[in-house]
Amino acid sequence: MARPFRLGVVGPFPPHKDGDAHYTGRLVRAIAEAHPHDVEVRVWTHIHPDRGTEETVLPNLSVAYRTGGDVGRWERARRTLALEPEIEVWRPDCVHVQAASKPVYGGLMAGEPATWLMERLMDGGVPVVNTVHNFAPREEIVKLAAEKGLPGFAGPALLAYTYGVYRRTARASSVLRLLACGRDPQTPRDAIGEIGLRPRAWEPEPHPCDHAPVSPAARDEAKRALGYEGKRLLVAMGFVDRVKGYHTLLAASDRLAERYPDVRIVIAGEALRPEAQAYAEELRTVHAALRHPQVTDLRLGFVDGDEWGRLFAAADVVVAAYSSTWGPSGPVHHALGRAKPVVVSNVPNNKDLKGLARIVEREDPDSLFDGLRALLDSDEEREALGCAAGVYAAEHTWARVAEGLLATCRRVAEGRG
């Protein structure tokens, strides 16, 4: 009997709460569950206080908690590079690196030690398939420098540094996969050209969806359970962060309240970092000063899986008015999976959702109001977007995207690039 295909994975993983950990966990588990006998998966991920050093999740899926931790930058870098001999001893056929452009690996901001690890693995003959979640276009990096109040020279310097890391990451991958959304995503193509990447090969990795359309009866039942019976519900969800643009939705809320007495707005998510907690306090202050604060519920705390599901089920429209983003949105794809009409701002990646979502100007309350008004005034447009979302989600389930990733890993392991 042939040895199972051995797939090593380096990336975030549950029980860490961030979206990248959720993403990697779902994708890797989908591969392991679909291939219990012919694929063996081992994940190297970040230390977690509720876990030891090893865990067996499934008979063919094990996890090693090695990287990150509450230590300094240099120690995080050392722990990242120390994975190389351990991975090589395990003898994977291919290593998949998922969402490694993060300072948890010990770099300044873009996961540089993870790039060095990939280079060492490639030099040792181990093929690497690398999925990058957050290739940032020029406009987003310059915007970040301005928002941080950095001096004028810092924007170009940050741009040059970040693009340099991206180019090195591309060269350190047998195949570079860029997380994308939409059927014909332009954002990754723009990134390849703008950044000047020269990967050996590249391909988009469509952000998966749970294909679980919500019927009108189930939507109404969820509203009753949440206390919104008879209301039209606008839902904005995700970890609290200024880039989520919750302040833009609040700025449009009084006009929505005055035009639509039956509308209620829910903004829900947890603020994990100090700057996110400060933003949450800012939202509470703005909310208290609104003419119609009773229209909007701020649920700025931990949202468990059941409440998360109920809120998405109850939504008539999901709102993702982001002010900035460096990658596709998890909450947007949760909404598409439930066949919900979505309003998104025209940040990179979201632009690729044309035909699947209503696209409005970023950080523009008037444009957001107009986009929501178009949906609230037209049952036909809401239904059309919901139907398009459901069809798209069926084409891009976790199982399908996982099979595509595994096929790429098998291909490079066989030397076919």
Question: pLDDT per residue over 355-399, tens digit each?
Answer: 999 999 999 999 999 999 999 999 999 999 999 999 999 999 999
353 pLDDT more than 70 = yes
Strand partners, 178: 132, 204
| Torsions phi, psi for 8 (to 5 deg) | -90, 145
Tell me the one-letter amino acid at 12: P
Mean pLDDT computed over 74-79? 90
3-state SS class at 84: helix
* Beta carbons of 46 and 69 less than 8 angstroms apart: yes
203 pLDDT more than 60 = yes
Q: What angle do CA 131, 135, 138 make, to 5 degrees?
A: 165
Strands 61-67 and 39-46: parallel
Cα separations in angstroms, 198 against 6, 161, 173, 174: 28, 17, 10, 11
* Beta carbons of 64 and 44 less than 8 angstroms apart: yes
Q: What is the pLDDT of residue 417?
A: 53
Q: What is the pLDDT of residue 201?
A: 82
416 pLDDT more than 70 = no
Q: Greater confidence, 352 or 137? A: 352
163 pLDDT more than 90 = no
Mean pLDDT computed over 49-70? 94
Mean pLDDT computed over 20-43? 96
108 pLDDT more than 70 = no
CA separation for the pair 163, 8 (Å, rounded): 27
Q: What is the mean pLDDT of the chain?
A: 91
317 pLDDT more than 80 = yes
* Beta carbons of 319 and 369 less than 8 angstroms apart: no
The structure tokens 């090695």 sit at 66
Q: What is the pLDDT of residue 106?
A: 66
Report the b/e string of 173-209 with b at 16+ CB within 10 A.
bbbbbbbbbbeebebbeebbeebebebebbbbbbbbb
104 pLDDT more than 90 = no
**Domains present along the chain, CATH in parentheses:** 5-208+397-413 (3.40.50.2000), 216-395 (3.40.50.2000)
Mean pLDDT computed over 102-116? 72
CA separation for the pair 272, 289 (Å, rounded): 25
Q: Greater confidence, 197 or 272? A: 272
Q: What is the pLDDT of residue 142?
A: 76
262 pLDDT more than 70 = yes
